[in-house]
Amino acid sequence: MTRTLLSLVLKALQKITCIGLLLWPLPAFSLVVDGLYDAAIQVEDQSPEQMLRAKKMGLAQVLVKVTGQTQSLTHPKVRAALRNPESYLQRFSFGTELLKNGQPQAVIELAFDSLQVDQLIRESGHFIWGKDRAGVLVWLVEDTQGIRQIVNDNRHPMVAQIMSQAHLRGMPLLWPLLDLEDQLSINAGDLWGVFRDTITRASSRYQADAVLVGLMFQDSQKLWRVDWNFWLDDVEQKWSSQGTDIAVLVEPLEDRLAASLVEKFALDTGAESLNDEARKSAILRIDQVTQVGDYVEIQAMLQTIAGIQKVQLHSAKGTTLEFRIFAQSNLAQVKSVIDLKRRLQAVEGTDIVALDQSLDLGINLVWHYQWN
């Protein structure tokens, strides 16, 4: 992958509209990123040269979205695949999109084969980041000569850059509404002081899976500096960046942010070669399932989670259902993805290990949830 092609990919990805990636509304109940294996690339004509260029860019876009990492494009196997993108292409069609000036622009819409793309990712040693993704709430404060202001306007250069880089990786971001409720619960000073309890309470209404706090200012040398605090579960990470160009400050942030999310939620389907079926399976116990439609919804939901190979109804007692799930990858990673499902509320302190003789699978891990 040349620097020129990577630059073109970055610019093209800024134009992608991907449902659920960047949100300002009230809390989302599911952050599912669709179109991970699709791309739309602008073309000037239908010449072979333009077609090949578009297919290369499209495959590069898809690989970055599915891995969450721009560095995935530098692997030798990926570089070789980008020279022959037709091998991964499932179908394509031509269409048009309107530019900002209202003029139509020809595009080629590409759909790549998910199985082949995933295989390429596994062979290159990267994780597969499924479409169920953690939502990150972003609080951004700008200090201008001692005046501090919370920023969420997508016309602000830092917000625009954060949005652009998040699009590149298919990373869902939530931005605060800054409405009366927010104004009563938090202010710029609370964020600048990184008062975690206050920030956590103010963030709870958005039901985000992680919180990112950015503090930006210019120093005496007119260099931009941004200090970042990122909270995922009970783990806090801190980063700082400095430079004259805001764009340069954001890309390293997004790389580290995506890396943290990928480490927890992406699926390493090649990490284990387990022959013991029990070590790749778990019982999912779900209380308060009162309708037949709930059962159908749960079954469908589990079957669409990346990393789950098979789902079986294990038992049904009253309003409690137990499903056995068979994983293709690390069980802890699969559980992290299940925990993202808003309708499944974990019952704290009740995940247990149980003896199951019905399928001769010995000791089983039991994950306990309540259906909301």
**Which pLDDT tens digit goes with each residue over 22-67?**
554 444 445 789 899 999 999 998 899 999 999 999 999 999 999 9
Query: Residue 251 above 50 pLDDT?
Result: yes
Contact 24/2 with Cβ under 8 angstroms? no
**Which pLDDT tens digit goes with each residue over 322-331?**
998 888 777 8
119, containing H or E segment: helix 114-123
110, containing H or E segment: strand 104-112
> In the prediction, which pLDDT does 98 show?
83
pTM value is 0.74
Distances from the Cα of 268 to the Cα of 170, 249, 272, 325, angstroms: 18, 29, 8, 17
Burial of 9 (0-12, 13-18, 19+ CB in 10 A): buried
The two tokens of residue 369 are 């949830």
What CA–CA distance (Å, rounded) separates 204 from 27? 9
The two tokens of residue 272 are 């284990």
**Which pLDDT tens digit goes with each residue over 88-117?**
999 999 998 888 788 889 999 999 999 999
